[in-house]
Structure 1
Amino acid sequence: MNTPPRPPLEGQQVASGPHPAEPAALGPVVGEPKGAARQGVRTALRPDPQTEDGRYPIAWLTICAPRGAVPTATSKCLCGRDRSAVGKARVLTLITDHETHRDHCPLRTAQEGRAAA
């Protein structure tokens, strides 16, 4: 018993031999195409729907603690502070130190004073 040949899958063509590639149609070489985005689209630049409240990040605390691996953390601030820690005890100390710095950072305290005035 022979099994009948399977029909080709949809979209696949049976190769019947090599065919030379046809060159693409040449377009205009010199100058701009007529009316191609010269006037732009009016809706391309819309205002951001989110309203800004004047806040922006000053300090970042990044903690990486993969399961079964040694945790690491970095504490960076725009005032120039850049500290890192490796190991559970040191990472926990850096977290506490970052919170303390956040409360005493010269950039942050200056902003609070201006907002109160």
Structure 2
Amino acid sequence: MSSRPHPRLEGPTSTPTRISSAELAPAQDGSGAPKVVAEGVPSSVRPDPQADDGRRPVAWLHIVAPPSFSDPARARSWCACGYERTAIGRPGVLQLVQNHNQHRTVCPLLNQHERRAAA
């Protein structure tokens, strides 16, 4: 009886001496055409569920109104065109909201997008 050499169970595995490419599996329908992709893998790219529609945020309004009436409300309005204003206190914040809405009607970045949509 001949004894077979036992494979090493510990230590690094030996490096292959030559490079071999993966072989394609034959088609299951017997047509002889090789199978290209694995089962369960989509063969085409699916559409992105969050597709880009070209819209971008341009003007922002951030209002902080603490629950205590003794703390003043604060607000900041800014736009990608460079418009930036801040306000502290309830009357100032209310005025800033009106100014923010007014800016949105005259902002060159926002009006540019509206002109493209109308064309």
Shorter-normalised TM range: 0.5 to 0.7
In 2, Cα distance between equivalents of 1:64 and 1:51: 32
Match of residue 92 from structure 1? 94
Alignment of 1:21-32 (within 5 A): none
How well do the aligned residues superpose, as a CA RMSD in angstroms?
2.5
Which amino acid letter does the alignment assign opposite residue 55 of structure 1?
A: R
Match of residue 57 from structure 1? 57
CA deviations on 1:67-97 (whole Å, 9 max, x unpaired) are 1111000000000011000000000000011
Gaps of 5+ in 1: 1-26, 29-41
Query: Aligned to 2:113, which of 111, 114, 117?
Result: 111
The alpha-carbon deviation at position 53 of structure 1 amounts to: 2.4
In 1, Cα distance between equivalents of 2:74 and 2:96: 10
In 2, Cα distance between equivalents of 1:99 and 1:83: 12
Q: How many residues align?
A: 79
- Percent identical among aligned pairs is 51
TM-score, reference length from structure 2: 0.57
CA deviations on 1:10-50 (whole Å, 9 max, x unpaired) are xxxxxxxxxxxxxxxxx87xxxxxxxxxxxxx89x976312
In 2, Cα distance between equivalents of 1:62 and 1:84: 9
The alpha-carbon deviation at position 98 of structure 1 amounts to: 0.3
